[in-house]
Amino acid sequence: MAAVAEVLSTVASRPDPRGCDLPTCPVCADSMVAAEASAYLQDSIISYLWTCDTCGYGFVTKHSVKRFACN
Ligand SMILES: [Zn+2]
């Protein structure tokens, strides 16, 4: 059974025009394709559960979801 570590994402301020912010495995650096699960922790914070297909490592990322402001 793989241990699940908690990783606090700090990439929220990095602009990405495609909105595609897939993490890589901290153990084998393989690219994550799709999150196993997602959950809203608070109103603007969402967490994703990732499991590496290559080494089986599981980890959680947290992301702040900023609402789009029209000004
Ligand atoms: Zn891995």
pLDDT value for 7? 64
pLDDT value for 58? 96
The predicted-structure confidence for 6-62, as pLDDT tens digits, reads as follows: 665 554 444 444 445 789 999 999 999 889 999 999 888 999 999 999 999 999 999
Strand partners for 49: 37, 60
Residues with CB under 5 A from ligand 1 (ion): 25, 27-28, 30, 52, 54-55, 57
pLDDT at residue 64 tops 50? yes
Q: Which of 55, 53, 47, 56 has its CA nearest to residue 6?
A: 47
Encoded tokens for 12: 């929220």
pLDDT value for 19? 46
d(CA 51, ligand 1 centre) in Å: 8
